[in-house]
């Protein structure tokens, strides 16, 4: 045993991996979640007095497994839990290699083709990232009630179908890959820019996404896997420059590029080269190519916006989503002026999801501001502020609104 623990920090560090292993050991999502919570409650009670174990994750897994076995035995007499099989008693040591692979097993289980795509994404974000239903719903632009129904439905399907908790064999991997990549990227995005809360970043979450991508690359070295790795590394390279000393949001064009992580940029560019050498070029490789243009440029003004517009157009051909159209409009504004971008944004107003997306209105506000239209900029910024639930973004929008009140020099 060693020093008194910081339980909150340990929860952030270990909970997702502990849950992934408990699902394997107990064979039930909800049971594993309950067992994990009980294990952390036991840690809160015991560790301050006894000290933290040398291997906290293994202690939590063993404790959670014992609690889960006790629950199963108590509930086996009810019809609701009669299907559960009592696992073997916890062993003194756990296979570290098996534990390391559990998040990947959980990822492929959640992304099983028996589930609808929306169920796969919702379940994985909820189970792998320890996000609340409300946070996942915001990330997917859904109502919380709709998201909750999808998660319940997905768990029921996995249970009823007896889906194995394993990484699929090589023949099944290619068809399962796109959904897995999408989920990994959504996990990264939630860490890179939180959907809600006081902080802009969750480094542990984005780090876990990059670890999953590395494990996936070893398992399936395909172009889009390398493309996603490159994209995440190039974005992560800007992490420290994205926020100021007090956690305030700093947009791309205002960032101090000397603070960008050059080693991470080199890793991202090398990964992009590997991805481009393998065909076909998919959406993650295209997005990595866009990120690479920013990484190579010494300033926002010197960026090759013409190439970025072409890359967004190619990306939109593959994935014609309103969010990609929004990003393309911003790139067009950088190339051709704010009025061109505003006209492009007008074409998106028929998309219900995008008009309730705070970044759509923030982009409109920024383009109106650049176009010298403060009244229109204020309306757009206020709408963005009303929709935003992340504190750094809210403070940034409030700052922009305050700047509109300042007289021109």
* pLDDT (0 to 100) of residue 124: 82
Residues 118/124/130/134 CA torsion (nearest 10 deg): 0
* Spacing of C-alpha 83 from chain mean position: 33
Contacts of 149 (CB under 8 A, 6+ apart): none
Q: Which two tokens stand for residue 286?
A: 């295209």
Q: 109-152 pLDDT, tens per residue?
A: 888 888 887 788 788 888 877 677 887 887 666 788 988 899 99
Q: 201-253 pLDDT, tens per residue?
A: 888 778 888 988 988 888 788 999 999 999 999 999 999 999 998 889 999 99
Give me the domains of the chain, ranges plus CATH numbers: 1-86 (1.10.1740.10), 317-409 (1.25.40.10)
Q: Which two tokens stand for residue 307?
A: 């190439």
The strand pairing partners of 52, in sequence order, are 2
Please choose, from the candidates 228, 237, 222, 213, the residue with its C-alpha nearest in 3D space to the C-alpha of residue 104: 213
Burial class (CB in 10 A: 0-12, 13-18, 19+), 82: exposed
* pLDDT (0 to 100) of residue 51: 86
Q: What is the pTM of this model?
A: 0.78
Instruction: Tell me the C-alpha to C-alpha distance, in Å, between residue 40 and each of 33, 60, 361.
Output: 11, 7, 41
Q: What is the mean pLDDT of the chain?
A: 88
> In the predicted model, is pLDDT for residue 84 greater than 60?
no
CA distance 271 to 260: 17
């Amino acid at each position: 045993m060693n020093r008194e623990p910081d339980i909150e920090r340990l929860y952030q560090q270990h909970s997702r991996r502990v849950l992934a292993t408990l699902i394997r050991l107990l064979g039930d999502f909800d049971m594993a979640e309950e067992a994990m919570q009980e294990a952390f409650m036991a840690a809160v009670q015991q560790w301050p007095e006894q000290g933290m174990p040398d291997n906290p994750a293994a202690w939590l897994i063993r404790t959670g497994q014992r609690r889960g076995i006790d629950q199963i035995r108590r509930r086996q007499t009810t019809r609701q839990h009669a299907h559960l099989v009592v696992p073997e008693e916890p062993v003194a040591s756990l296979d570290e290699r098996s534990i390391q692979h559990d998040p990947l097993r959980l990822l492929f289980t959640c992304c099983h083709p028996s589930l609808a795509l929306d169920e796969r994404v919702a379940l994985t974000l909820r189970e792998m990232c320890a996000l609340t239903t409300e946070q996942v719903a915001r990330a997917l632009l859904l109502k919380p009630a709709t998201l909750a129904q999808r998660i319940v439905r997905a768990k029921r399907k996995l249970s009823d179908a007896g889906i194995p908790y394993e990484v699929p064999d090589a023949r099944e991997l290619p068809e399962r890959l796109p959904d897995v990549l999408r989920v990994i990227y959504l996990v990264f995005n939630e860490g890179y820019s939180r959907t809600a809360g006081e902080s802009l970043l969750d480094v542990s979450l984005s780090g876990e996404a990059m670890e999953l991508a590395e494990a996936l690359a070893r398992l399936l070295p395909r172009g889009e896997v390398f493309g996603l790795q490159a994209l995440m590394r190039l974005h992560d390279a800007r992490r420290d420059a994205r926020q100021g000393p007090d956690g305030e949001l700093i947009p791309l064009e205002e960032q101090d590029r000397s603070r960008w992580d050059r080693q991470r940029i080199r890793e991202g560019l090398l990964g992009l080269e590997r991805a481009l050498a393998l065909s076909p070029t998919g959406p993650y490789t295209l997005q990595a190519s866009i990120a690479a243009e920013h990484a190579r440029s010494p300033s926002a003004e010197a960026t090759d916006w013409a190439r970025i517009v072409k890359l967004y157009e190619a990306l939109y051909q593959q994935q014609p989503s309103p969010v990609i159209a929004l990003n393309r409009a911003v790139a067009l504004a950088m190339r051709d002026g704010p009025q061109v971008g505003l006209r492009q944004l007008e074409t998106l107003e028929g998309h219900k999801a995008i008009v309730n997306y705070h970044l759509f209105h923030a982009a409109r506000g920024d383009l109106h501001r650049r176009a010298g239209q403060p009244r229109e900029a204020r309306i757009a910024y206020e709408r963005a502020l009303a929709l935003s639930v992340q504190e750094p973004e809210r403070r940034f929008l409030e700052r922009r609104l305050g700047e509109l009140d300042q007289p021109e020099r």
